[in-house]
Amino acid sequence: MRTYKPKDDVQKKAYYTDRFYVAPQVPKSDVESDEVFAKDLEAIKAKFEVLDAYIQVEQMVVWIKPEDNYGVIELMRDELEYTQLSELSAIDFIAQRDEFEIFYQMLSMNKRKRVRIKMSIKNGQAVNSVEKLFRSADWSEREMYDMFGIVANGHPFMKRILMPYDWQGHPLLKSYPLQGDEFAAWYEVDKIFGKEARDIVGPELRDTSRVDRYDSTRFARLGHEVPFGAEVKGDEPVTEQSYQEEGGVFLVKKLDKASSVVVDDPQR
Amino acid sequence: MAQHKINYTQDGGLPVALTTIDKVANWGRSNSLWAMTYGLACCGIEMMAAGASRYDFDRFGTIFRASPRQSDVMIVAGTLTKKHSEFIKRLYDQMTEPRWVISMGSCANTGGMFNTYATVQGVDRIIPVDLYLPGCAPRPETLQYGVMLLQKKIRANKAGRAQKSKRLM
């Protein structure tokens, strides 16, 4: 018998999750089916150990060992004409097998082919920087460090790129909450006003489904504005918008709509 | 006996007008609201449209300045990220008194659709806001209407009195 789960708060769940869901897999085909890729793979296999290789969506995916990444990408660039590193990042598989997958997406304009170099590293392990080979890896590796906390050894400026330098945590980890941890929630208050101001500023209002009928004290209601903090009765008069109220000031006459003429004819 | 007698008490007499200091000061302040160029996201595009020839902010005396020291009103147009939050405070502090803040659009009001770790949930957590404009993004007409409301608010205040900040630490 399956374990009982209370269903009284089932309406509050944002998404329906299927317990038996199996993520669809993109079909893989053999590398031999494409002769350009087959030659490239032979060249890589001659020098480095290839754990797995296949073709997915007309792109070759090559799994290598993490310590070979610099050598493989150098070989791809100098001998196999893959002259662009278009993307580099990591994928979080910590919950499944305590690993990160790192991919290098490479493009050859001469061959009109794309190759994805992939490797698995353990959680906490560092990778070799490929910034010496491709300048595009500079910011990508900084982003990888910022978002996942994976350090690239040999990088000239291994600092955060998107989040502030004094940020704590790595936001693209699957364990990181979308709405932030406590550090993130109070970041700007702590930094600008200090921790003692938390009580004065108050916590963030994060509940998107929260309806407060007094919201209109805080937000302008076009045509029926109320001052800040005033009680809203619902029968506020329409705000008459004119250039100068109460007769205006000297030299500037109040625009009287009744006595003014609207010119419709552009030729007049 | 002078043939053309001047009636000092009527229009067309001597060019003298009597008014109060408050009214003059407020008239000057409200009709030369120099706004800070502060487009943070897509609301900035609408703010630019409001400043360009079709909607024409210059009619209101609202001219965009690239320096906080020359501006009176800060139109926070767009998403305020947590990384940027210290700079909005710094820019606000550099503006001279009297100064006003318009929070333009959902993101600046409440964080809007960006219910995430990186977005400040409302710019009023950092600086006091005078006017909240709803919309995502508000149209240029809304911004102009907001500026006119702000002018009205300025004229309703006593000019000599220092502005009371809603929340300032």
The string of DSSP letters for A202-230 reads ------TT---GGGGGTS--TTS---TTP
Nearest C-alpha neighbor of A73 from the set A54, A47, A52, A53: A47
Query: Chain B contact for A203, CB < 8 A?
Result: no
Residue A189 contacts B, CB cutoff 8 Å: yes
Strands A113-122 and A59-64: parallel
3-state secondary structure of A179: coil
pLDDT of residue A93: 93
Choose the weakest-confidence range: A67-76, A238-247, B66-75, B136-145.
A238-247
Q: Which residues of A touch B115 (CB under 8 A)?
A: 178-179, 206, 208
Element (H, E) at B36: strand B35-36
Name the DSSP letter for residue B81. Answer: B
- Is any Cβ of chain A less than 8 angstroms from the Cβ of B90? no
Tokens of A119: 């490797």
Selected residue with higher pLDDT from A89 and A9: A89
Which amino acid is it at B88? Answer: I
In this model, does residue A246 exceed pLDDT 90? no
Strand pairing of B73-77 and B131-133?
A: unpaired
Would you say A131 and A141 are in contact if contact means Cβ atoms under 8 Å apart? yes
B13 touches chain A (CB under 8 A): no
3-state secondary structure of A262: coil
Indicate yes or no: CB of B86 within 8 angstroms of CB of A181.
no
| DSSP 3-state of A240 | coil
Instruction: Sketch out chain A's domains with CATH numbers.
Output: 31-153 (3.30.460.80)
The predicted pLDDT at position B123 comes to: 93
Backbone torsions φ then ψ of A88, nearest 5 degrees: -155, 125
- Among the partner-chain residues A177, A201, A208, the one whose CB lies closest to the CB of B125 is A201
Residue tagged 């001469």 (tokens): A110
Task: Kindly report which listed range (A204-208, B11-15, B77-81, B131-135) carries the lowest average pLDDT score.
Answer: B11-15
Could you tell me if B8 lies within 8 Å of chain A, comparing CB atoms?
A: no
Which of A179, A192, A218 has the CB atom closest to B117's CB atom? A179
List chain B residues with CB under 8 Å of A189.
125
Give me the residue from B122, B132, B169 closest to A220, CB to CB.
Answer: B132
CA nearest to B15 within chain A? A251
A222 vs B: CB within 8 A: yes
E strands in chain A: 28-29, 50-56, 59-64, 84-93, 99-108, 113-122, 127-128, 152-153
Q: What is the pLDDT of residues A20-66, one digit of tens each?
A: 888 888 999 999 999 999 999 999 999 999 999 999 999 999 999 99
User: What pLDDT is attached to residue A237?
Assistant: 78
Q: Which residue has the higher pLDDT, B1 or A101?
A: A101
Q: Is the pLDDT of residue A243 over 70?
A: no
Nearest CB to B148 within list A176, A204, A241: A241
- Give the pLDDT confidence of A183-197 residue by residue, as tens digits: 999 999 999 999 999
DSSP conformation letters of A14-54: SS---TT--PPPPPEE-GGGSHHHHHHHHHHHHHS-EEEEE
Across the strands, what pairs with A64? A50
- The structure's pTM equals 0.79
Long-range contacts from A222-230, C-beta under 8 angstroms, 24+ separation: A222/B134, A222/B142, A222/B145, A225/B149, A228/B166
Residue A19 class from Cβ within 10 Å (0-12 exposed, 13-18 middle, 19+ buried)? Answer: exposed
The alpha carbon of residue A201 is apart from the nearest alpha carbon of chain B, in Å, by 6
Query: Residues of chain A with pLDDT > 70: what percent?
Result: 84
